[in-house]
Amino acid sequence: MTNILFVSSSPRGAASQSTKVAEQLVAGIRAEDPSATVTRRDLARHPLPHVDEAYLGAVFAPAETHTPEQTKLLALSDELVAEIQAADVIVIASAMINFTVTSQLKAWFDFIARAGKTFRYGANGPEGLVTGKRVVVVEAKGGIYSDGPMKPHDYQQPWIRFILGFLGMTDVEIIQVEGQAMGPERAEQGVAEAAEKAGATARALVGRRAAA
């Protein structure tokens, strides 16, 4: 059975193309594999707090000294980490806001990056501990960043790839929904290309899991 973790993060609600294409991808996986389960984390509707002094105090304090507030803050991080650890496939819908991920998605990564749980520093430097996952990221953006003059200013895709790899998730596919602020025609083209890729990705993912 495939456990899917579906993380969405666009503040644009029902208008979000990253969420819509990611929904299609998840539906495609479930069409191929009806036994697949889905855990949803809607970070825009249910935002996480920011990592702050209270949280960092909890992370670094010995367990026996934790206050009820520190226990609560760590329980949230533990729950998010448990969700990624339990998933076989992680689908992340990411809207580009001011050239990078939303603060909601950044907060999620801040809570799942836990020294000793999801990464550690060893003799050979950092080692990601979240291994064996297949990750698909659906990124929606107003402009075109895959090629052309804006390419160096995509701070969404390189960062997502890097932080996932830092945590051990290296089997990553990215589906881009580009040109969403470039007029209806270009926007539709971006959605159609991404939807097609989502369908193919769903079939390939289920095929690969069946063959494994």
Choices 54-62, 68-76, 89-97, 115-123; region in contact with ligand FMN by CB under 6 A: 89-97
Among 12, 30, 161, 203, binds ligand FMN (CB under 6 A): 12
Q: What is the smallest separation between the CB atom of 206 and ligand FMN, expressed in angstroms?
A: 24
Q: Residue 199 interacts with ligand FMN (CB under 6 A)? A: no
Q: In 158-201, where do the E strands start and end?
A: 171-177
Q: Residue 95 interacts with ligand FMN (CB under 6 A)? A: yes
Q: What is the smallest separation between the CB atom of 144 and ligand FMN, expressed in angstroms?
A: 8
Q: Residue 136, class by beta-carbon neighbours within 10 Å (0-12 exposed, 13-18 middle, 19+ buried)? A: buried
Given a contact cutoff of 8 angstroms between Cβ atoms, the answer to whether 123 and 40 are in contact is no
Structure tokens at 201: 């990705």
Question: What phi-psi label fits residue 131: left (phi over 0), alpha (psi between -120 and 50 degrees) or beta?
Answer: beta
Q: Residue 97 interacts with ligand FMN (CB under 6 A)? A: yes
Q: What is the smallest separation between the CB atom of 161 and ligand FMN, expressed in angstroms?
A: 18
Q: Residue 198 interacts with ligand FMN (CB under 6 A)? A: no
Q: Residue 99 interacts with ligand FMN (CB under 6 A)? A: yes
Q: Residue 101 interacts with ligand FMN (CB under 6 A)? A: no
Given a contact cutoff of 8 angstroms between Cβ atoms, the answer to whether 13 and 38 are in contact is no
Q: What is the smallest separation between the CB atom of 140 and ligand FMN, expressed in angstroms?
A: 3
CA distance 139 to 193: 12
Q: Which of 171, 133, 139 is nearest to 156 (CA)?
A: 139
Residue 149 CB partners (closer than 8 Å, separation 6+)? none
Q: Which of 24, 10, 22 is nearest to 176 (CA)?
A: 22
Smaller CB separation from ligand FMN, 81 or 194:
194
Among 2, 6, 7, 16, binds ligand FMN (CB under 6 A): 16
Q: Residue 24 interacts with ligand FMN (CB under 6 A)? A: no
Secondary structure letter of residue 18 according to DSSP: H
Smaller CB separation from ligand FMN, 110 or 154:
154
Structure tokens at 119: 């990464």
Q: What is the smallest separation between the CB atom of 15 and ligand FMN, expressed in angstroms?
A: 6
Q: Give contact residues for ligand FMN (rule: CB under 6 A).
A: 10, 12, 16-19, 95-99, 140-143, 180-181
